[in-house]
Amino acid sequence: MHQPKYESFHNRTNGRDLIHIPSISMHPSLYEHIQGACYYEERSLPFLLHLDSPGIRLVYVTSKKVPESSVEYFLSFLDVDRDSARRRLLMISCDEDESLRSLSEKLLDRPDLISTIREFIDVKTAVVSCFVHTVVEDKLFDTIGLHCGGYARDFSFWGTKCGSRLIFKEAGCPHPVGSYRVCKTKADLITDLCLLVKENPGKYTFLIKLNEGVSGLGNAMIAIPQNSFEGSQTLQDYLHANLERIVEPCSCENVDLYMRKVEHFGAIIEEFLPCEGDSSPSVQGVICSEGAVQVVSTHEQVLEKQVYKGCLFPARDSFRSELQKWGAAVGACLAKRGCIDEYGVDFIVREDSGRFDFHALEINLRQLGTTHPMLALCLLTKGWFCKDGTFKDRNGQLRCYMATENLILPCLIGLKPDKFYETVRSDLRLQFNKEKSTGTIFYMWSCLEEFGKIGLVCVGSSRQEAYDRMQNVTNVLIELLQ
C-alpha cells in the first residue's frame, strides 16, 4: 500500500525533535494583495498534531504571537496528556520586529531566540520544515546548526515559471505554447510575443507571468486585437505603441507597477487557456534526500481570476491516474537536479468527447495551499494515501475534504480568537469528530478580527459530502455570529 508522505514524515522522526519555520521568504510585492498575508504563518498549525507522538519535542516559529486559544484548539485533538504535550512545545515569535522582512530574516537577527531553540531541541538530529526553502533559509539553518539535506541555491530556479517550463519540456509533459526564457524589458516581451504569434497562427491571447509569482498574483492577461496590425503596421510596431494599454494584471494593480515588477523579477509568456468549465487540478509530491520521488495526492483547485482560493481532495477519478503519472515524471526531472522535499504541479485539464487534454502550468518548490489540509487529515485520522490517490482513515474508510484559506464573512470582522473558540466549542456542527474522522478544522484565527477571514478544512466520506459540509459550516457561522 502506498505510504503517505506525512505518515512517512511522522514515522521517520523516530522520536526526533521537529522545528517548523513557516517563513514566506519572498519579496513582499509578490503577495501584497493577499488579505492577512502577515498571518499566513498560522496556516501550518496542524503541525502541532505531531505532538501526539510522546517522544517528540516541537518548535514552531512565527513573526507574530499565535493566539493562545488557537494553540489550545489544536492541542485539544491530541490523545496524549495535554500537559505533557505543552512541555514538549516551544512557540517562538519575533513580535518586536514590525518590519516587512521575512520571518527567517527576523530570526537571523535574534541570537537570543536561536539560543533558545538550540537549548530546547537537539539541532543535530532535528527534522526541519519550512514554507519555502530559499538562500535565506540556507543561512538560517546553518546558523542554527540544522541539517536539511540540500541548499536552495542549487535548485530554486526550477520552481520559477521559466524553470517549470523547461522541466515540462524535458519530461515530455504537455504544457501551453510559450517562451522558455526570462524577459526583463518591454523589448523582450514584444520580441517573444511576435515570435509566438508567428509560430502559432490564430493564437492572440497570452499570459505574462512574473517568474517568481505566487498563487496567480503575478499574472497579467494580454489580448492582441486581430485586426490591429494590418496594412503597413507590423505587430511589433503595434505592441511598441500599445503594450501597456492591452496588459491587464490579474491582481488589479496598475499596469505601470506591474511592468516595473517585470523589470525587477523577470517574466515568461505563455498561451492563455481559459479554465471556465475546465478543471484546474494539482499534484503534490515529495522528493527524499536520496532522490526517491513519491506522488502524494491530487486536488482540484478553486480559482478566481487565476488566483488560488481553495481545493477539493482528491481530483476526480476519471483523470487522477494521468495526473499522478505526469506528477511523477516532473518529480523525476526535479530529483535529477538535486531538488528535495515538497513540490506541486498545477494543471488545466480539458474534456472533449470523453478525452482529457492535460496542460501543465507551473511547479511550486514549497509548501502549498494543499499542504496543511493534508497534514491535518493525516494526523487527525491516522490514515494513509492509497495507490489510486484516495485516502482512508484508521478504520479503512474513504475520506475526502474541501479546504479554503479564504472564507471571508462580514459577521467575522471584529471577532476575537477567544470568542471564536467559544463559538466552535459550543456547537457540534463546527467541530471535528475524531471517532468518525469527519468534521471541520479551523486555522488562521488571527485574520478574524481585522479581515473577517478564516481558513478551514471540511472532511467527509465523499467529495460531495465535503463540499456540502463547507456550505453548511458557512451558514452556521452566519447563523451564530450575524
pLDDT digits (tens, 9 = 90+) for 289-337: 778 999 999 999 877 665 667 899 999 999 999 999 999 999 999 999 9
441, 457 Cβ separation under 8 angstroms: yes
Looking at the structure, tell me whether residues 103 and 240 fall in a common domain. Answer: no
In a domain, 282, yes or no: yes
H or E segment and range at residue 114: helix 111-120
Looking at the structure, tell me whether residues 145 and 165 fall in a common domain. Answer: no
In a domain, 94, yes or no: yes
- Supply the DSSP symbol for 342: E
Looking at the structure, tell me whether residues 474 and 376 fall in a common domain. Answer: yes
Chain-centre distance of CA 308, in angstroms?
Answer: 9
CA dihedral (197, 203, 205, 207) positive or negative: negative
In a domain, 179, yes or no: no
Give residues with Cβ within 8 angstroms of 43, minimum separation 6.
Answer: 22, 369, 372, 405, 443, 444, 455
pLDDT of the residue at 10: 43
Looking at the structure, tell me whether residues 350 and 400 fall in a common domain. Answer: no
Looking at the structure, tell me whether residues 463 and 317 fall in a common domain. Answer: no
Looking at the structure, tell me whether residues 350 and 376 fall in a common domain. Answer: no
Query: What is the crossing angle of helices 111-120 and 135-144, to 10°?
Result: 60
H or E segment and range at residue 469: helix 463-481
In a domain, 178, yes or no: no
Of 347, 364, 381, which marks where a domain is finished?
364
pLDDT of the residue at 135: 86
Looking at the structure, tell me whether residues 30 and 130 fall in a common domain. Answer: yes
Q: Rounded to an integer, what distance in angstroms lies between the CA atom of residue 213 and that of residue 361?
A: 12
Give residues with Cβ within 8 angstroms of 234, minimum separation 6.
Answer: none
pLDDT of the residue at 231: 58
Q: Rounded to an integer, what distance in angstroms lies between the CA atom of residue 413 and that of residue 5?
A: 36
- Contacts of the segment 98-103: beta carbons below 8 A, 24+ positions apart: 100/28, 102/23, 102/24, 102/25, 102/26, 102/136, 103/21, 103/22, 103/23, 103/24, 103/25, 103/41, 103/61, 103/62, 103/63
251: nearest Cα among 284, 293, 218, 275: 218
Give residues with Cβ within 8 angstroms of 316, minimum separation 6.
Answer: 279, 300, 463
- Supply the DSSP symbol for 65: P
pLDDT of the residue at 36: 65
Q: Give the domain range for residue 359.
A: 158-173+275-364
382, 393 Cβ separation under 8 angstroms: yes
- Whichever domain contains 308, its CATH number is 3.30.470.20
In a domain, 252, yes or no: yes
pLDDT of the residue at 9: 42
Instruction: Please list the ranges in the chain whose pLDDT falls under 50.
Output: 1-12
pLDDT digit string (tens) for 131-187? 888 889 889 999 999 876 666 666 888 999 999 999 999 999 999 999 999 999 999
Looking at the structure, tell me whether residues 372 and 357 fall in a common domain. Answer: no
- Contacts of the segment 180-183: beta carbons below 8 A, 24+ positions apart: 180/268, 181/268, 182/211, 182/266, 182/267, 182/268, 183/262, 183/266, 183/267, 183/268, 183/269
pLDDT of the residue at 11: 47
Q: Rounded to an integer, what distance in angstroms lies between the CA atom of residue 256 and that of residue 234?
A: 24
Pairing of strands 391-392, 384-385: antiparallel
Give residues with Cβ within 8 angstroms of 276, minimum separation 6.
Answer: none
Amino acid 361 reads L
Looking at the structure, tell me whether residues 146 and 204 fall in a common domain. Answer: no
375: nearest Cα among 365, 389, 385: 385
Give residues with Cβ within 8 angstroms of 187, minimum separation 6.
Answer: none
Looking at the structure, tell me whether residues 356 and 452 fall in a common domain. Answer: no
In a domain, 77, yes or no: yes
In a domain, 181, yes or no: no
Chain-centre distance of CA 169, in angstroms?
Answer: 23
452, 408 Cβ separation under 8 angstroms: yes
Number of domains in the chain: 3
In a domain, 137, yes or no: yes
